[in-house]
Structure formats: structure tokens, C-alpha cells
Amino acid sequence: MTPLRLAAAMLALAGLACGPAGMAGEPAAPPQPRAATEQVPETTRPSAIPASPASPELHRVRQVIDGDTITVADIGTIRLIGVDAPEKQGGFREAEPYGDQATAYLRKLADGQLVRLEYDGERKDRFNRTLAYVFLEDGTLVNEAIIRAGWAEHYRSFDYHRKADFRQAEREARAASRGMWRR
């Protein structure tokens, strides 16, 4: 258990914890630029979104499973809210065109990075994966970045708060012929 988690647990037991996550109201450290950011073309990066004080805790991405699923230390499997990426080769379902490229893009963007999670509605899906928006330390919203790069579509079947933004990101990727939308 990290010292911050230990302190939060002690405060929670004492009834002094604040914030929805039960963490002490410590401000998050200012985001540090990530060296690998330059590898992602500027036209495919969504605008940075400032860190939310409600969830300042950072977690390390341990593995990229496919274009819309990752595993994160201390949390487990995360399904990116609002992202529908093609299935990769060797997955649980039949491979789809561009599935391996979507996985490679997400791996290049997020694998090994520290991320902040934000939740929206239901916390788990039917496969017991945690549903979350995933933010890099520099504020990049990973969910939107893969859509904007053209390696995933916005999820149409469910409502979520950022649906309009993700729909717009997909329109831009299609118009610019990025990723799987190449003509």
C-alpha cells in the first residue's frame, strides 16, 4: 500500500476523508510532458483536458489488450468508454480489418504510461471490466485520441457524456482519411 493510500485509508477510518474517491484533498502534481507525445502526430491528438480534482490518482498501464481495452495496475481490466475498435488477430472474436493497427496505435500511445481514470455512469460492463475515460499525464484523453487517429469508431449503442465529442472526432478522422478511413 502506497503512503498516500495508507493516509487516505486512515483518514477514511477517522471520518476525515474528502472527495468521492475517499482520498485526502491533496492537489495533484502538475502534469509532466511525456517524451513519447511527439510520436503521435499533432493532427491526431485531442486538445489536452485538465486533470479533474475528483480523481488525481495515477495508475500505470500494464498491458494493451486491444484497441479499446487495457489493464491498469491496482484496477485491472479497463474498457475505454465510447470507443469501438476493430478486433485484433488472436483475440476472443474473429479478427477484423485494422484491428492489429488499432492495438498497435493504443500500445504506442498508452503502454507503460501513468494514467488518470474518470468514470461515467455504470462502473462495470457485463464482462466485469471497469468502464473509464483514460487520461495521460499531459491531459490527453486516450479514448478520444484513438478515434481521432482513425483507428476506432465512437460507440453508438450507449449514452455517455463525451459522445458528441467522440462523434466529432470520428467525423474529422473520416474527412481527413486517417487510420482505417484511408481511401
Q: Which of 45, 79, 116, 178 is catalytic?
A: 79
Banded model confidence at residue 92, pLDDT cuts 50, 70, 90 = low
- Which amino acid, residue 180? M
Banded model confidence at residue 135, pLDDT cuts 50, 70, 90 = very high
How is the chain split into domains, by residue range? 1-30, 32-181
Residue written as cell 501513468? 114
Let me know if 170 is a catalytic residue: no
Q: Which of 45, 129, 148, 178 is catalytic?
A: 129
DSSP state at residue 141: B
Q: Which of 87, 118, 137, 170 is catalytic?
A: 87
Let me know if 167 is a catalytic residue: no
Let me know if 129 is a catalytic residue: yes
125 phi, psi to nearest 5 deg: -95, -175
pTM of the model: 0.69
β-strands 76-80, 130-136 pairing: parallel
Strand, coil or helix: 92? coil
Q: Which residue has the higher pLDDT, 94 or 182?
A: 182
pLDDT in tens, 21-58: 333 333 344 334 444 333 444 444 444 444 444 457 99
Q: Which residue has the higher pLDDT, 125 or 96?
A: 125
Looking at domain 32-181, its CATH architecture is Beta Barrel (2.40)
Burial class of residue 124, CB neighbours in 10 A (0-12, 13-18, 19+): exposed
Q: Which residue has the higher pLDDT, 77 or 19?
A: 77
Banded model confidence at residue 94, pLDDT cuts 50, 70, 90 = confident
